[in-house]
Every structure is written in C-alpha cells, then in structure tokens.
Amino acid sequence: MLKQLTANFPAPERSEAAQYYFRYIDLVPAGDIRDVLSHQLTETIELLSDVTAEESLHRYASDKWSMREVVNHLSDTERSFVFRAFWFARRLGSELPSFEQEVAMAASGANEQSWESLVNEFRTVREATMSLFQLLPPSAWDARGVANGNEFTVRSLAYLTAGHVTHHLGILRDKYLLA
C-alpha cells in the first residue's frame, strides 16, 4: 500500500468540523487514519459477506432502511465526504451544498440492486477513498472549505468517513444482525 512515510495525521481538533460531526469522528480509533480506513474495509466486507441476499432486505422496523439501503447509504455518504475532501484539498474554493440522504435514498433503487453488487460497490468506493487519502500531499490535510454551511478540514473529512461507517456497522450489528 502506498504511504507517505513522513506524514502523520492526528485526530482533528474541535475547530475542524461542526460539533455535530464529532459524534462520528470520536468513534475513530487512534492511529494513522489511512490504516484505519484500510482495516475498516476488511472488517466491513467480512461482516457483510455473511449476510444472505434474503437477509439483506431485512428492516428492523417498518420505517427503517433495509440492510441494502444502509450499505447503499454508506457508499453514497462516503462519496459525498470524499468529494468534499478532494474539493477542499485542491483548494477549489466555492462552498458545496448539503447532501440530502433521504432524497438520495429515494432515488437509489437500492432494494432492486443485488446484495453482492452493493457490497462490491462499497469495496470499490472505499478503495478509491484510500487512494485519495494515501496520495494527498501533507499540506492538503489542513485545507479548509465549507459544505452545507459548515467548515471542515480535509483531515476532519477523512475521520468523518471512517467514523460514519463505524457508526453504521454498530447499527447493523445491534439492530439487524442480532434480530
């Protein structure tokens, strides 16, 4: 795996993202965030590979997403966070809009996709995420930008990416897989 050996990217300070996002960022274990993202890919694929196509349509309540929708949400949200990181790292300047997860989900057709395709999509999205964060120059990690009216650093978005998946893996384990 590629790694910039001289770079060290500690957890973001509280000034690097809106307080709301630390509910995810604070879930990320200590260590190089790039290693965390790589380990998390393995962990996620292992967890999801034990789920059958039939089980993947399960909802733990009628108003909750199916497992297919949750995995689709993971891919969609990761794309959104990483696009923001790319935009800010390249210092492209303009403010980015919000990501409306319910609107995205309604248009996704996730339950019509095969479970295998959704798991493979997550893998592909995460591999692209890891590539971007591996190759960013050290100076890019402190770059800032605004999305959804909130300021973020690139570093906070890397941590947010990992923390968001950790959050949803917990929900999958507790609400879907133990049901």
What CATH number was assigned to the domain covering residues 31-53+64-177?
A: 1.20.120.450
CA–CA distance, 81 with 92 (Å, rounded to integer) = 15
What would the mean pLDDT of 8-21 be, rounded to a whole number?
A: 93
Whether 58 and 129 have beta carbons less than 8 Å apart is answered as: no
Mean pLDDT of the chain: 94
φ/ψ of 83, rounded to 5, equals -60, -40
Q: What is the pLDDT of residue 6?
A: 40
Nearest Cα to Cα of residue 56 among 103, 96, 111 = 111
The most distant pair of C-alpha atoms in the chain lies apart, rounded to whole Å, by 49
Which one-letter amino acid corresponds to residue 102?
A: E
**Of all residues in the chain, what percent carry a pLDDT higher than 70?**
95
Which pLDDT belongs to residue 7?
54
Over residues 23-46, the mean pLDDT reads 97
Helix (H) or strand (E) holding 159: helix 154-171
**Residue ranges covered by each domain of the chain:** 31-53+64-177
| Radius of gyration of the chain, Cα coordinates, nearest whole angstrom | 16
pLDDT at 120 > cutoff 50: yes
Here the tokens at position 164 are 């968001």
Q: What percent of the chain has pLDDT over 90?
A: 93
Alpha-carbon distance values, 36 to 9, 52, 79, 162 (Å): 12, 27, 17, 7
| Confidence grade of residue 169 (pLDDT, cut at 50, 70, 90) | very high
Q: Is the pLDDT of residue 101 over 90?
A: yes
pLDDT value at 43 more than 90: yes
Whole-prediction pTM value?
0.94
Of 67, 22, 27, whose CA–CA distance to 49 is shortest?
67
Pick from 131, 134, 138, 129: nearest CA to 162: 129
Evaluate if residue 4 carries a pLDDT over 50.
Answer: no
Q: What are 175's two structure tokens? A: 């609400």
Segment 53-93, tens digit of pLDDT = 999 999 999 999 999 999 999 999 999 999 999 999 999 98
Residue 179 has what pLDDT? 60
Distance separating alpha carbons of residues 72 and 117, to the nearest angstrom: 10
CA distance 31 to 38: 12
